[in-house]
Structure 1
Amino acid sequence: MDVHHAAATALTPRRAAPPAAPMPPLRFRELCETILAEVDRVIDGKAEASRVALTVLLAQGHLLVEDVPGVGKTMLAKTLARTIDCSVSRIQFTPDLLPSDVTGVSIYNQATRQFEFRPGAVFANIVIGDEINRASAKTQSALLECMEEHQVTVDGTSYGLSEPFMVIATQNPIEMEGTYPLPEAQRDRFMARISMGYPDEAAEIEMLESHQSESPLFSIEPVAEASDVASMIESVKAVYVSDPVKQFTVALGRATRTSERVRLGASPRAVLQLLRAAKARAALDGRDFVLPDDVAAMAPAVLVHRLILDRRAAAAGLTVAGVLDALVATVPLPSDGAARLRRQA
């Protein structure tokens, strides 16, 4: 495992930290554009994947990047991490990786005759988990508390993780030999899942031009600090959601649970994370309120990896993405005026 920056977490029992002040809208948008521009310097032709990754970061979620080898999964994670001046750690998941390698372990100090906690790689603002499905289920589960509660509990003591905190995990869905597929409970911890896909011809030619001598990753300089990201997160929290948009989000989640084509629908956690992602998307677009289009646009990234098709639907050749698109089309949209209702003073 590689540590790019020293972790700044104080290893003390978890306690609530005072929230940061929201960032001014103009500064928010300028910083988002700057971060995405830096990522686009390294990741050619994948603007939407970069945008979703930033959206998940600002929505306080975690990202699963799933695709075949060599399409830039780890590169995207590294690049986004380098644009922010914060603590970053990288874990190479392997079958012999232990849970204590992730969370940390208490070691007996003979000099002081006391146990001392040695933090694991998860004590960082951004944790890159490379090939997460190559670790055992026991090691994978070590991330569950970290991702959900932003804390680590070892020997009965809970230690708070750095804020902001984000896990970006990669996995290869093709090469399954010697892997441990993520169970549904663990996949549900990831706010969104994206696939990089192959670049188009123009982007691949541009990649040959820009990467032939050395990777542009090494020229990336931080354009934001951890405190900036914390302030941007507070701005996203302040984005207004009208009652009709909440009803639309819940109706979409319930539609996945009642569909005859879906065996496992979206959990309440999935519906909540869908709304949080929609708020971040609205903020990136320069709005302080959520539209139904924001919810619908984030639904594939947030819900597809959580749904399991009925056997008959799978046997008929249907895909989760196709079934979800059809469900989104069946949920009635609230009126535009109702969706734009602002909070009354």
Structure 2
Amino acid sequence: MTTITCVEDFRQLYKKRVPKMFYDYAESGSYTESTFRRNEADFQNVSIRQRVGIDITNIDTRTTMAGASARIPVAFAPVGMLGIQNAAGEIKVAKAARDFGVPFILSTMSICSMEQVKEATGEPFWFQLYVVKDRDFVRDLIHRAKAIGCSGLVVTMDLSMLGQRHKDVKNQLSIRPNLKNMLNIATKPRWAMEMAKTPYKSFGNVIGHAKNVDDLSSLLTWAVEMVDPSLDWDDIEWIRKEWGGPIILKGIMDVEDARIAADMGIDTMVVSNHGGRQLDGAASSISLLPQIADAVGERVELLLDSGVRTGADIFRARALGASGVLLGRAMVYELGAMGQPGIEKLLEILEKELRTTMGLAGKTSMAWITKDDVF
């Protein structure tokens, strides 16, 4: 195997190991993909101040994110269908996160159910909530998450309308593959054998729980019809009451929206454009982070996702106002390439990159990284 030194190495291996339709599902953005590309590229526009003559013998990368301890300022983002990228994918990522010491967020559209992940890991995690038209189902999800001890509720705000990813349409992406996709799967025997053996083949949070969703066929119809364009701030208040604790709002990309959320008493929000998968033409998350931090950063804890690939990117986000970052695609690359060992390797790489960046920037504690450290 080629020596793995960075996230890009994993991406190339991931592309070789999973069926094309699932690789394209992860590695794509909406329409022209301008925002998808901008997310990663704009990190390079943020330069880091190099400092010398400072004792950097002891570097501490530990921090907290939304009240959770983290060995490095990283959490694994909620990504749907991880269990299709790699058999039992959600459980594998959750175990790696638990063992390393960073938060894991389970998607509503996961293959493994929240109960299965909790049974496999024995540890609390954060649950990500999609707000669909069926509010009884939404209420059931919230109370199931409470019942198993989920320690955080992440509410996704930017999916009240679906952005089109051209690659998914051209691949005819489906959980029931067509002939073209079946032929491609035949070229990925390792993936196919693992998927054949795993007991986790369903959408465990939805099938058997949502009204009239009893199998994969009914799920497909439900998933399209349940997208709710009426989601508004009143719904967030209702969710807070049902949950009974702090929530994390994901998908904030505007200062005005950030102020509305802060005025409501929201504790944590994620500056995120959904990885460039929704509004094509939106700004990158990292370019808007400083504005949002200036507006509400003293009242609300900010996290950031979309485009994070290196330890230096984590440093940049921290300097510009985020207490930590969420990893989406980087997580998928490693999971699809190598399963749980890939996730473990990813965390080791990011920790090393972050420590190196901090040392060469003259910082030995996360608390000492500020906007003066970048330009």
TM-score between both structures, scaled by the size of structure 1: 0.31
**Greater strand share, structure number:** 1
The normalised TM-score by structure 2 is 0.29
